[in-house]
Amino acid sequence: MSNKTYAAPKTISRRGVLAGSAALASAMYMPRLAAAQTEGQLQLWLPGGSDLFCTIHTGLLEGFSSDTGLGPATTVCGLGQDTEFTQALIGSITSGTPPDISMLWDSPVSLGAQGAFMPLDDMMAESSISIETWPAGLLSSCQFQGVTYGLPVTAGVYSMWYNQEMFEARGISSARDDFPKTWDEMRRMSKEFTVWEGDRLVTAGFMPNRVPETMAVWSALNGGMMFDEENLRYMIDSEQNIEMMTFFVEWMDEEYKGDFNLVDRSGNFLDGYPNPTTGMGPAFREGRQAGMQSGSWLLGDIFADPVPNFDRWNLAGNPVGPSGTNSVSGTWPNWFVIPVGSRNAQAAFEYLSYLAVQGSVEWYQQIPDVPTNSQVEAQAPQVLVDQRGQEVADDITAFLGEQAAIVTPMWNSPVQSFYTDQVARAVEKIYTKAATVTEALGEAQGASQAELERVLAG
C-alpha cells in the first residue's frame, strides 16, 4: 500500500449510507448505551460472538483500564452482526454518542473514507505500533488513499487445509513442502480422491473456488487483482481474472460433472463447518474431502462437534495460478476503529496499541485469531497443543505467521460490500452457465466501477 497524500476526509453526513434508516435503527440502542460513555471511561462495542469471545474482550478492556488508572470501562457485546451492527454504529456517530472503540467484521475503508472513523496515522507515527510494524497487505484493508482508519488487530489467515491420512492412504506425501505449488498440480492431485456413485459425490479432492470474499486471493495467485486502489479502478474482468474463472469452470466440468448443485446435494464440501441450512456435516471433518481453503479460525473449532474422524491434518500455502508467480495469502481481520466523536480518543488509541501486542497474545491463546502486528511472538493456542502436541502446534503457529506476512491487499475498496455482492452474482451465473465468464465478470465490473465512482463523487 503506497502512502499517498490525501485530502482530509469528508465531514460525516446523514446522506447516502449514513441516512435515515441507519440512524433510526440504531436509536433503539442509544438510551441504554450513551449514558455509559463518559469522559475518561472507555467504552467498547463488539458486534457479537460467543460467550467466550465477549468474556475475553471484557476482561482485556477492564484489565487495561484498571492498570492505567482509567477507572471502570464498559464492553457492549452483541449489538447485532453485519447490517444491524453497522446501522447501530452509524447512528451513534451521527447522533454524537459513539463508543470510544468499535470492533468491525467488515472493512473500515468504506465508512472511514466518508469521515466516520478517526484517521490514526498521526497517533501511530508517535507510537510503538507505527505503520512499519504491520504487514502491508493486512494494513491496506484499513487504508484508503494513504489514510489509516483502523487496525487489523488479529485476523483469520487463509491457507490450504489437507487431510494427511487421506494423502498417505494413496501414497502421496503429506509433508507441507510437498503440497501442490500450482493450480494445475492441485487439480491433478484432486482427481486421486474424487469418487462418484451415479450423481452422488462420495469423496472429493479440492474444489474450484466459489467464495466471493476470497476471490481477491485467487486473483492475486494468478497475477491479477480485483481492485486497483492506487488508480481507483476495479479489475474484475481483467485478463487474469477471466483466465482464473475459465480454469475453475473447466475444472468443475471435468471433475464435478459441471454441476455444483449435485455436489451440494451430496454433502457439505464448501468449508469445514456444519451447514446450518441443510444440517449436513462438513465433508472435510467427515474424511470425505482431501483438502480445502479455510481460515485459521478453524484451528479451535475443528475440535468441536462434529469431531473429525481422523487425527492428522496440516496447513500449506496457497498454490499459484497459470499467470501467477508467487504464493500469497489472505485474511478476514478483526478490525478496530475509533469513531469520530469519541470522548477518549487518545486513551482509545492506547488501548488499541495494547490490544495489538500484549492483548492479542492472550486472545490467540483462547481463540486462535492470529495476531498481526510484527512485534508479536504468538505462542501456540492451548487447544491446539492439547489436541496435536507442542511440536505440531508450534509449527502451525509459525506457518500462520509466515502467511500473515504475505497477505495480498484485499478489503480495501470504499464499496467493498457492493463489490462482494456483484462478484457473488457473477460466480453464480458462471457456474450455473447462465452467462459466460466474460459476460458475468464484465457485468460485475461495470456495476462495481459505477458504484465506486458514485460514492467518490459524494
pLDDT, tens only, 176-190: 999 999 999 999 999
Q: Minimum mean pLDDT among 13-17, 251-255, 423-427: which range? A: 13-17
Query: 66-112, pLDDT tens digit by residue?
Result: 999 988 899 999 876 667 888 899 999 999 999 999 999 888 998 99
Instruction: Give the mean model confidence (pLDDT) for residues 133-156.
Output: 93
User: Would you state the pLDDT for residue 356?
Assistant: 96
Residue 114 pLDDT level (bands cut at 50, 70, 90): confident
What are 289-322's pLDDT values in tens digits? 999 999 998 998 898 888 899 999 999 999 999 9
Instruction: Report how far residue 240's alpha carbon sits from residue 179's, in angstroms, rounded to the nearest whole number.
Output: 24
Residue 81 pLDDT:
61
Give residue 350's pLDDT. Answer: 97
- The predicted model gives 113-118 an average pLDDT of 92
Chain centroid to Cα 249, Å, comes to 25
Measured distance CA(91)–CA(106) in Å, rounded: 17
CA-based R_g, the chain, Å: 22
CB neighbour burial string for 362-379, b if at least 16 within 10 angstroms, e if fewer: ebbbbbbbbbbbbebebe
Residues ≥6 apart with Cβ < 8 Å to 113: 9, 10, 144, 145, 147, 149, 414
The CATH number fitting domain 16-156+331-401, selected from 3.40.190.10, 3.90.580.10, 3.40.1160.10, 3.40.1360.10: 3.40.190.10
pLDDT tens-digit profile of 341-366?
999 999 999 999 999 999 999 998 88
| pLDDT of 39 | 57
For 161-330+411-456, give the CATH class: alpha beta
Statement: residue 200 has pLDDT above 90: yes
Q: How far is CA 360 from CA 192, 381, 397, in A?
A: 40, 12, 14
pLDDT per residue over 254-269, tens digit each?
A: 999 999 999 999 999 9
Question: Mind giving me the DSSP string for 408-429?
Answer: PP-S--TTHHHHHHHHHHHHHH
- Whether the domain at 16-156+331-401 and the domain at 161-330+411-456 fall into the same CATH topology: yes
In the chain, the percentage of residues whose pLDDT exceeds 70 is 91
Question: Over 50: is that where the pLDDT of 8 sits?
Answer: no
Residue 40 pLDDT level (bands cut at 50, 70, 90): low
Q: What is the pTM of this model?
A: 0.87
Closest CA to 43 of 28, 33, 31: 33
Q: What is the mean pLDDT of the chain?
A: 89
pLDDT above 90 covers a percentage of the chain that reads 75
pLDDT grade, residue 38 (50/70/90)?
Answer: low
| Domain extent listing, the chain | 16-156+331-401, 161-330+411-456
